[in-house]
Amino acid sequence: MALLDFFKFFGKEENKSKDIAKERLKLVLIHDRANVSPKFLDLIKGDIIKVISNYMEIDETGLDIRLSRIEQEDDNYTSALVANIPIKRMKNIGKNNG
Amino acid sequence: MGEVIVITSGKGGVGKTTTTANIGTALALEGKKVVLIDADIGLRNLDVVMGLENRIVYDLVDVVEGTCRLKQALIRDKRFNGLHLLPAAQTRDKNAVTPAQMQKLCEELKQHFDFILIDCPAGIEQGFKNAIAGADKAVVVTVPEVSAVRDADRIIGLLASNELPNPLLIVNRLRMDMVKRGDMMDIDDTIDILGVDLLGVVPDDEKIIVSSNRGEPAVTEDSSLAGQAYRNIAKRLLGEDVPLMNLQTEETFMDKLRKLFSGKNKKKH
Ligand SMILES: Nc1ncnc2c1ncn2[C@@H]1O[C@H](COP(=O)(O)OP(=O)(O)OP(=O)(O)O)[C@@H](O)[C@H]1O
Ligand SMILES: [Mg+2]
């Protein structure tokens, strides 16, 4: 047994296959769950419009929100909710609360 | 008034039929009046797992089509008082039955039995829709593997949109030796991912195969760990608070050594 193997044997088992399984499942389920329910993104969309509208006037027809996969530095992918929200005009709240 | 419970999974071959047979038999052993419905039309199996295949005269399709009376199609299991089987038709397909017909059948059976267990076919098509139509409650069976858990999640979503929210989960074929070395997701992992309540954990047990060879459910076998697990599950369905079985095997010397060196035994400050 090489020294390296020796440490691997006793050391923290890092690449346990069950952890890999769990991570993969979590990611795949994010997409499954969002995709099976078309209402899901619409619900989020509605809520986002509500919140943002308190602060700025937005172009609701140009609003684009979707789930996508983003590549990280370590070559792994993570899921992200990506929203593109065109702003028409800022409201005055920000200014007054300064 | 009885309760209708559908045993479902999404993915095939994870143990729906085994689970239906064993929970049903265990409930009968607890003194309940039980009927098992094989809803897997065209691929019937519950009859052979129960060892009742030679007693079939009429089936589920005969009942809904009115070829026979319901009572004529129910096979009484002479070994277990109160246990009955309504077999699936083997030469028809899933479209021979509609959800409305299943609903009506379940309503009728509820008048006469304490528990009606429905063995659901794999998949999410017509057979699934029929099987869940008359159900009051759903049990989802999965095994601790990525594909089965993913399908279970899909089924849980479909059940929720069909007025069966909060199904109960059974994790089948758990192998403690694999869990221990980190090569199988454990119960907490699985529940955490699926976000449902646990009804029970059934270990992988070769006695399940032996008992299906014989046509005698494993719950009748005292020494079967899986049988014990199913007896516990039946008790939980009856409202008893039965703790999860200890599936832990003895720690080997190598396990201890590994633990010692990986620092898991160290006290946290
Ligand atoms: N706990 C267990 N330990 C060992 N073997 C098991 C266990 N549970 C099920 N099996 C075996 O797995 C196989 C599939 O089980 P079963 O027929 O109950 O699955 P199913 O979900 O009903 O399948 P299908 O989707 O085809 O209807 C059978 O051979 C059965 O004996
Ligand atoms: Mg089956």
More confident residue, A61 or B115: B115
* Min Cα separation A65/chain B (Å): 22
| pLDDT value for B258 | 66
pLDDT of B268 over the 50 cut: no
When pLDDT is averaged across residues B136-154 and rounded to a whole number, the result is 98
- Residue B204 Cβ inside 6 Å of ligand 1? The answer reads yes
- Residue B9 Cβ inside 6 Å of ligand 1? The answer reads yes
Domain count, chain B: 1
Place of tokens 């519950």: B46
| pLDDT value for B269 | 42
* Min Cα separation A40/chain B (Å): 12
Nearest CA to ligand 1 atom 29: B209
- The tokens of B120 are what? 């659901």
Range of the domain at B158: 3-261
State pLDDT tens for residues B41-94: 999 999 999 999 999 999 999 999 999 999 999 999 999 999 999 999 999 999
Nearest beta carbon to residue B193 from set A9, A13, A26: A26
Between the two ends of chain A, the Cα-to-Cα distance in Å is 66
Residues on chain A touching B153 (C-beta within 8 angstroms): 29, 32-33
ipTM topping 0.90: no
Tell me the HSE value of B199 on the side-chain side, using a 13 A CA sphere. 25
Contact by Cβ (8 Å): B9, B141: yes
Q: Is residue B15 part of a domain?
A: yes
Q: pLDDT confidence of A94, banded at 50, 70, 90? A: low
pTM of the model: 0.84
Counting ligands in written order, the one closest to the CA of B123 is 1
pLDDT of A78 over the 50 cut: yes
State pLDDT tens for residues B158-215: 999 999 999 999 999 999 999 999 999 999 999 999 999 999 999 999 999 999 999 9
When pLDDT is averaged across residues A70-89 and rounded to a whole number, the result is 81
Q: Is residue B168 part of a domain?
A: yes
Alpha-carbon distance values, B125 to B8, B18, B99, B102 (Å): 12, 21, 12, 15
Find the largest Cα–Cα distance for chain B: 73
pLDDT of A35 over the 80 cut: no
In chain A, the residue whose alpha carbon lies closest to the alpha carbon of B148 is: A25
> Residues B100-118, buried b or exposed e (16+ Cβ, 10 A)?
ebbeebbeebbeebbbbbb
Q: What is the CATH number of the domain that holds B250?
A: 3.40.50.300
Cβ of B157 within 8 Å of Cβ of A36? The answer is: yes
| In chain A, where the domains are located | 38-93
Cβ of A37 within 8 Å of Cβ of B157? The answer is: yes
Residues 6+ apart with CB under 8 A from B150: A25, A28, A29, A32
Select from B9, B41, B38, B14 the least CA-distant residue to B24.
Answer: B38
Nearest beta carbon to residue A32 from set B153, B185, B262: B153
Tell me the HSE value of A22 on the side-chain side, using a 13 A CA sphere. 18
Q: What are phi and psi of A33, to 5 degrees?
A: -65, -40
